[in-house]
C-alpha cells in the first residue's frame, strides 16, 4: 500500500524535516513578533519551538539508530560525525531555549524576547550547517538510499 515507506532503510527520513521546518518557522514568527510587538506572534513562535524540539528528539533518536547503515569509509564517517554533532547540539540548544521560553513565558520583557530571538538565530545557523551535512551524506555519498530497483 505504501511502497515508499516499505523501501525506507530506516525511519530517520520520516522525522528530519519537522524540526528543521518548525525551528526556522519559529525564528520567522519571532522576527515578526519583534517587528510588530505582537504577543500572539511570539506565542506562535514559542509553540513552533516546542514542537520542533519534540520533533528534534524523534529525529535524533532515529538518526542514532540509522548511523549503523552508513558505510564505514573514513571520508563518509567524517561527514556523519559533523552532522551528528551539529544536530545533537541543535536539539539540546533547542531544548534549552524551550525551557527558557517556558519558565519566562509570563514575562513580556524585551530582554527575554531579544534573548530568545538571538537563540533562535543561533539555532538556525547550527541547523542549516547540520542539515547540509545530512543532505551531503544522502545526495553526494548516496547513504541510506536503497539503490536496488525492482520493477
State pLDDT tens for residues 100-115: 999 887 776 667 889 9
The answer to pTM > 0.85 is yes
**Torsion angles phi and psi, residue 10, rounded to 5:** -155, 170
Identify the H or E element spanning 119: helix 110-139
Between the CA of residue 86 and those of 34, 51, 97, 120, 131, what are the distances in Å? 27, 19, 16, 15, 8
- The predicted-structure confidence for 55-79, as pLDDT tens digits, reads as follows 999 999 999 999 988 899 999 999 9
Q: What is the mean pLDDT of the chain?
A: 91
Amino acid at each position: 500500500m505504501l511502497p515508499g515507506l516499505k523501501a525506507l532503510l530506516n525511519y530517520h527520513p520520516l522525522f528530519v524535516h519537522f524540526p528543521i521546518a518548525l525551528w526556522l518557522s519559529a525564528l520567522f514568527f519571532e522576527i515578526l513578533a519583534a517587528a510588530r510587538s505582537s504577543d500572539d506572534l511570539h506565542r506562535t513562535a514559542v509553540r513552533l519551538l516546542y514542537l520542533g524540539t519534540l520533533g528534534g528528539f524523534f529525529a535524533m533518536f532515529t538518526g542514532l539508530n540509522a548511523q549503523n547503515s552508513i558505510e564505514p569509509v573514513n571520508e563518509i564517517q567524517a561527514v556523519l560525525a559533523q552532522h551528528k554533532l551539529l544536530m545533537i547540539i541543535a536539539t539540546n540548544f533547542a531544548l534549552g531555549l524551550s525551557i527558557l521560553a517556558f519558565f519566562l513565558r509570563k514575562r513580556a520583557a524585551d530582554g527575554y524576547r531579544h534573548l530568545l530571538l538571538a537563540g533562535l538565530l543561533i539555532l538556525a545557523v547550527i541547523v542549516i550547517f547540520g542539515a547540509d551535512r545530512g543532505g551531503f551524506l544522502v545526495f553526494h555519498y548516496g547513504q541510506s538510499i536503497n539503490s536496488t530497483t525492482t520493477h
